[in-house]
Structure 1
Amino acid sequence: MTPKQRTRLAAALATAGALSMTLLGPTTHAGADPVRPDCPRGLACDWIPAAYEQTGDPGDKETYGNYDTSDRPHTNKIRFIVLHDTEEDFDTTLKIFQNPLKQTSAHYVVRSADGHVTQMVRNKDVAWQAGNWYVNSHSIGIEQEGVAVDGAKWYTPEMYRSTAKLVRHLAAEYDIPLDRQHIIGHDGVPPTSASGTRNMHWDPGPYWDWNRFMALLGRPTVPTASARSELVTVSPDFKKNKQEFRDCEKGVDLPVQGSSAVPLHTAPSADAPLFSDPGLHPDGSPGTNCAADWGSKISATQQAVVADRVPGWTAIWWYGQKAWFRTPAHTRTTTPTAGYVVRPRKGRDEVPVYGVAYPEKSEYPADFADQRVGAPLGYTIKAGQSYPGGGEAPTGYFHAPTIDSSRPYDHTYFRGEEKYVTVQIGHRIAFVKASDVDIVRVR
């Protein structure tokens, strides 16, 4: 971190500290009792509430911010934890979440300089953080102070330790598996529809050290299967895995540096085009080395199913196709892994993939107008392909169009009977109907 950044962070620390001292007394929000942060013992943590205010005509659905009240996990189960970066400094992030006109929030914010944690939305409530309402309804969001294209400058040892301690605490409290289908980056959140793919976020980006983080969670990548296992965990050494990416929004090349990301190609050659995510490149154009083009990369600690091998290269199933990446001999780019994979049931040529796990239309009350159902994304799982996953995803839709309204069905969670499971279809997770697939244990 540069001296300028440290100076700015020190100022933010002082401001945030003063503000938290003011607010840590008998603080309430949304008519609640005084709030204490839900943090593990020994973690520096305070409570500063995000805005929950009416900002216009109560009849207008877009007139309040910055989260929704709920009663999780008694209503909607908490199943995922989403890691973000703020793209702002710590103090500015707190102010944004306190401004109801910004229409955004997260449950926690972690400071770069010292790992201090501020909780801003209670875990029982739904923060507006993931860009996917289903994921919002079933997740806890953690913002980490930083700028994704600035590399590891913001991601300090203190931040890694604090975020890991917080995630371990939350995972234990809500029975969330400590794996990469449930502990995801914002870059792992699926769109709700095929048309929304290009609007999804890609933080915390290629310079977040997932190997380091998962080891701090007590889940380091170690071999758990034979060397020729069809399931592998991507595990390049962060410091040695030096990659050249581009900030395409600014039109500049980023410094070559250590990364969690491994480029994916269409053939086993460094000269082959980069993999093209059909959701990001619907015109069929090649993938790019843009930092934001996550379809052309796989990240350390993500799992994949091997589709083919040639000397020095491995192919995996990725968004319905083969994607190749370099696996030189005597390196540990991949680690053989035992686990569960999802395959189409016998007789199925392909299986649709969804970005949500909503009820069927027939499961809503007849007089309920917002009978929301999931539409398939632009990806399918084809016969002969397998993807990591199999964990059950809650089926339900949380309806919250107004602020604490007495309207029928407002702030109601509608459960569905159709069972869905989570899959790692590409860089982002997604959901498939359990009735469409077989879940198979591989070793």
Structure 2
Amino acid sequence: MTEKQNQESVRYQLYERPPFATLLGLSLQHLFSMFGATILVPLLAGLSPSVALFSSGIGTLIHLLVTRGRVPAYMGSSFAFIIPMASLLKTFGYPAVGQGVVAVGLCYLVIALLVAKVGTDWMDKIFPPEVVGPVIMVIGLSLAQTAAQSGTEINGHYDWRAFLVAGLTLLVMILSNQFLKGFLGMIPVLIGIAFGYLLAMLLGLVDLSGVQSAAWFSLPKFDFLFMNKGHFDSAFYPLAMLTMVPLVLVTLSEHLGHLLVLKKITGHDFFKDPGLNKTLAGDGLASVFAGLIGGPAVTSYGENIGVMQLSKVYSVWVIAGAAVLAAFFAFIGKLTAIIQSVPAAVTGGVGLMLYGVIAAAGLQVLVDHRVDYSEKRNLLIAGPILVIGIGNFHWALTSQIDFSGVALATVLGVCLNVLLPKAEKGKDSRLRD
């Protein structure tokens, strides 16, 4: 399918607003897709899940405001900072975590100012198709193992019920996307999740005890920047900043990668409109806000990009609707508990589709630009990117600073593209038998 044909199949373009009922359904689809990952981060770090949900919703609205409503990106909790946040929380309390998260946001703002000064022409030079394609593929496929484990294991052991739920959830999503028309054809992920949830309930995989005990209205347990267990804390924690700021390199590479994916599937160059400086500033301010109220640092989410690719709905109104719902649900205890009760087998089944869809977008970049892999240079760039990223060949600089395989693969791809000489015209650089 050509890019023109791909755009003709889109149901809602970037700035189109669906009717309210349709908008609500599409936004719920995005909410369910990102919910598990967004609350998992605070649970692992020791922070409040409801605050993380609230900060992700408001953070997304902040990002939309800064980017003038032109980028359909959802801001969810970042996994890159789990270890340092958990360590800082245990050692010093929330003020240290908050200062680290705010410092991450401020670092993004500084980078945004630099980009505003130098422009984005350098992007085309360091991110040609032979780099972009494999990097996008890595962003999706690096999560494949997580989806597969969620869809086959329960408490670390293989369970046929998880396999059945994940497999049928995937099948229902495929059939819904292929054969359903109208509104139902736009929400295959939501249909798959609903089916998987009911099946998991029949198989005894759903724990509703949290729903029964949850209050209808529950105020999120906000931890404000200079408050420590209810008392004012004006201490300054430079270690928090030194620990968390280096990981900006990880999330920055994810930020660039997600923009590249969005550019591919929507046909819109977000590096130029609204500009990389605006998207970075929006991400930075969202993290600053999260740090002020007790939430983890945020970043754009691949799950939501996968939903857009699958549903062919790119509307920023839908992303804004998901953000409003997330902020609202943070105060409704039972609704949050119901979403939280969705078993990993269901989200694993969804991931089997969404992560693959992202990877396929990277493959399409290579096809559209006719990247020739009989050329030695292209092979030498793509090979290490794919293995390092998918295999998560990571670099643990310290116990708190760990550069993921995706980050290393992206940086390596850029370096190889700059350093490896291109074939001279008239000379054949192709591999020969």
TM over 0.5: no
* More RCO (CA 8 Å, sep 6+): 2
Q: Given the two structures, how large is their TM-score scaled by the length of structure 1?
A: 0.23
Q: Given the two structures, how large is their TM-score scaled by the length of structure 2?
A: 0.23
* Richer in helix (by share): 2
* Richer in strand (by share): 1
